[in-house]
Amino acid sequence: MIADPTLTETAPKTAGNKRAVVITWLRRILVIAVLAAAAYQLVVQWPDVSRTLASLPWPSVVLSFLAVLAGLCLGPPMWRTVLRDLGTPVRIRDASMIYLVGQLGKYIPGSVWAFLLQMELAKTVGVTRVRAFTASVVAAGLGIVASLIAGFLAMPVILDGHQEYLWIFILLPLGLVLLHPRPLTWIVSRALTLLRRAPLPHPLTAAAIFKTLGLGLATFVLLGVHLWLLADSLGSPGLGGLMLCIGAMSLAMTAGLLAFFLPSGLGAREVVLVAALSTTLPAGSALALAVVSRVMFTVVDLALAGGAALAARNRKPDPMPGPA
């Protein structure tokens, strides 16, 4: 008896569809659980949270907001530096539009939405999807290395009661190795080959790698200053508090990025921030600052994306820069 080929082909597809549905619902349930836990903590500690929010002086809030703005503005130059090193130069305004608007994809649960959005936006200015995706992945990887290096400033707090966060540094040895152009180029080319794409046309350069790393470190310093300005207004120690905030914000951003199943790392980032700030502030105050930080990041993300998109829409056509 001959089996019906239609049935044999449909069965695996049906099983795959069921698995995809299950994974989708599990992800949704996880996101809801994280939001519910965050909301519960906010309600339980609302007296302290509301008191902290009301006591924040507006000059510190404004300066903190400007620090976030300055820090996130360094993202496009990082991405542009890697893209240029790959052999595809773009204008800074185009890089800003691609990177900043694409970054809004991180608010969708998943691991690659921001990268996919950047790929499609890059296509509008003549950058191939593969080249844009490669630049996004390399820039994000170097950004993680920068965050782990800056995160060492919070090591005293981690060793003194929060050793559960040591796992974040597991990636650091590999990241330091990849600061050398040869292994980084080999891994990127190998990944492109596995995706059935052409390998890199030439090795990545040390100058571009360390420029990107430097921009990443500057980003996390500015984001740490943003957190310190808020904490210092509530009585956090001066220089020691600054080092703590830089390290804590760096590790929090890494934790949020690794928790790719959550929208913009919601919950994971706040857990790290509250744990670090609670060493110098009451738990309610630490939670309030984590909430304020989240709101500031969201507002800045939307403002920068809107401004970059508007600037790109109103730009006048002019000649593209020559090849790198």
The per-residue pLDDT for range 83-130, each reduced to its tens digit, is 999 999 999 999 999 999 888 888 776 667 788 888 888 988 889 999
Q: Tens digits of per-residue pLDDT, 207-239?
A: 999 999 999 999 999 999 999 999 988 876 677
Among residues 172, 158, 170, the alpha carbon closest in space to that of 272 is found at 158
Q: With pLDDT > 90 as the criterion, what percentage of the chain qualifies?
A: 34
Among residues 222, 230, 206, the alpha carbon closest in space to that of 288 is found at 230
Q: What is the 3-state secondary structure (H, E, C) of 186-200?
A: HHHHHHHHHCCCCCC
212 in Cβ contact with 78 (< 8 Å): yes
Q: What is the 3-state secondary structure (H, E, C) of 80-118?
A: HHHHHHCCCCCCHHHHHHHHHHHHHHHHCCCCCHHHHHH
Find all residues with CB under 8 Å of 38, minimum gap 6, and list them.
Answer: 266, 267, 270
Task: Indicate the range of 35-39, 241-245, 248-252, 313-317 predicted with least confidence.
Answer: 35-39
Would you state the pLDDT for residue 64?
A: 94
Average pLDDT over every residue of 177-181: 91
Distance (Å) of CA 184 to CA 111, 112, 136, 180: 21, 20, 14, 6
Winning range, highest mean pLDDT, from 25-34, 41-50, 177-186, 257-266: 177-186
Would you state the pLDDT for residue 27?
A: 56
Q: Which two tokens stand for residue 161?
A: 């009661």
Among residues 228, 210, 209, 231, the alpha carbon closest in space to that of 220 is found at 228
Q: Tens digits of per-residue pLDDT, 9-57?
A: 555 556 567 776 765 666 556 556 545 654 555 565 556 566 666 778 8
Half-sphere exposure of 244 (CA within 13 A, CB side): 26
Q: Could you tell me which residue, 59 or 51, shows the higher pLDDT?
A: 59
* Distance of alpha carbon 287 from alpha carbon 295, whole angstroms: 13
Indicate the pTM of the whole model.
0.81
247 in Cβ contact with 224 (< 8 Å): yes
Would you state the pLDDT for residue 322?
A: 44
Task: Indicate the range of 81-95, 143-157, 172-186, 304-318 predicted with least confidence.
Answer: 304-318
Would you state the pLDDT for residue 7?
A: 46
- Checking if the pLDDT of 319 tops 70, the result is no
> What are phi and psi for residue 203, nearest 5 degrees?
-65, 150
Q: Residues 172, 173, 176, 182: what is their CA dihedral angle, to the nearest 10 degrees? A: -130
Find all residues with CB under 8 Å of 229, minimum gap 6, and list them.
Answer: 60, 63, 64, 67
Q: What is the rounded average pLDDT for all residues in the chain?
A: 81
Q: Could you tell me which residue, 171 or 41, shows the higher pLDDT?
A: 171
Q: Which two tokens stand for residue 315?
A: 């730009």
